């Protein structure tokens, strides 16, 4: 993999992680 591709994958994982944390907090709040 090129360095750019690795960065894109890391970025996607960070977005997914942030989304899952947000959803977990939203569920806990409701």
| Displacement of CA 9 from its chain's centroid (Å) | 10
The structure's pTM equals: 0.56
Domain map of the chain by residue range? 1-30
Q: Looking at the predicted structure, is the pLDDT value of residue 1 above 80? A: no
Confidence of residue 28 (pLDDT cuts 50, 70, 90): confident
Distances in Å between the Cα of 2 and the Cα atoms of 5, 6, 8, 12, 16 are 5, 6, 10, 16, 21
Run of H or E including 2? none
Q: What is the pLDDT of residue 2?
A: 79
Average pLDDT rounded to a whole number, residues 11-21: 93
């Amino acid at each position: 993999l090129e360095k750019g591709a690795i960065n894109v994958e890391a970025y996607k994982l960070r977005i997914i992680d942030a989304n899952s944390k947000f959803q977990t907090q939203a569920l806990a709040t409701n």
